[in-house]
């Protein structure tokens, strides 16, 4: 099947000047290359896609609508959020406070704690990765806790130093 018989390279180049986004640009560049003699197989290798994908890109242009519109995907809304906008805002305000202020015995928010909070407060279930995403969306960042010798008792610190001296700085079993 011959594609793009009715469309000139100049029309494709004009459309290229008027589109935004990676996919529409890619589709128009592929169409221009096709009009200049490249095969669908060569284009598939060039763009690292299946030949069927190139066929679909070219087929999209066989339409009465504008080229700019033909190469652009329709909006995809995705899945609805489990929390309403109001609940999302309340959640974000809450995680900017200490978990202790909300009634949890924890020094900081963790994905597992967020998961528990959301289940108890809004009766919604989120996975741990989704809880991480919600924390990030709320403007929080992951902080890795660091242990320090200063956290231990003075006597334990001194005992550790003495044991270290005896072992010549090497870890040894007792």
In a domain, 172, yes or no: no
Task: Identify whether the C-beta of residue 24 lies closer than 8 Å to the C-beta of residue 72.
Answer: yes
- Residues 68 and 70: their CA atoms lie apart, in Å, by 6
Dihedral (CA of 15, 16, 18, 21) sign: positive
In a domain, 147, yes or no: no
Q: Which two tokens stand for residue 23?
A: 């996919």
Q: Residue 49 carries which DSSP code?
A: S
Same domain, 97 and 45: no
- Residues 99 and 91: their CA atoms lie apart, in Å, by 12
Domain span at residue 56 reads 9-70
- Residues 70 and 15: their CA atoms lie apart, in Å, by 10
Q: Which residue in this structure is represented by tokens 């270290």?
A: 164
Residue 172 pLDDT class (50, 70, 90 cuts): very low
Angle between helix axes 51-60 and 40-47 (nearest 10 degrees) is 110
Query: Average pLDDT of the chain?
Result: 85
- Residues 39 and 41: their CA atoms lie apart, in Å, by 5
In a domain, 143, yes or no: no
17-29: pLDDT as tens digits: 988 889 999 999 9
In a domain, 2, yes or no: no
pLDDT of amino acid 150: 59
Share of the chain above pLDDT 70, in %: 86
Residue 107 pLDDT class (50, 70, 90 cuts): confident
In a domain, 77, yes or no: no
Task: Identify whether the C-beta of residue 117 lies closer than 8 Å to the C-beta of residue 94.
Answer: yes
Q: How far apart are the first and last CA of the chain?
A: 80
**Strand, helix or coil at 64?**
coil
Domain count, the chain: 2
Task: Identify whether the C-beta of residue 28 lies closer than 8 Å to the C-beta of residue 18.
Answer: no
């Amino acid at each position: 099947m011959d594609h793009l018989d009715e469309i000139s390279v100049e029309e494709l180049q004009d459309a290229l000047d008027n589109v935004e986004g990676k996919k529409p640009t890619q589709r128009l560049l592929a169409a221009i290359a096709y009009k200049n003699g490249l095969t669908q197989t060569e284009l598939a290798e060039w763009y690292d896609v299946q030949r069927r994908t190139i066929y679909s890109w070219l087929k999209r242009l066989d339409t009465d609508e504008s080229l700019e519109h033909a190469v652009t995907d329709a909006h995809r809304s995705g899945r609805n959020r489990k929390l309403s906008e109001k609940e999302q805002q309340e959640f974000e305000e809450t995680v900017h406070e200490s978990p202790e202020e909300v009634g949890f015995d924890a020094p900081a928010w963790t994905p597992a704690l967020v998961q528990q909070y959301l289940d108890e407060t809004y009766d919604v279930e989120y996975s741990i990765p989704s809880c991480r995403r919600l924390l990030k969306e709320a403007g929080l960042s992951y902080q890795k806790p660091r242990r320090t010798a200063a956290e231990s008792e003075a006597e334990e610190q001194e005992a550790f130093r003495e044991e270290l001296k005896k072992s010549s700085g090497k870890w040894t079993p007792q």
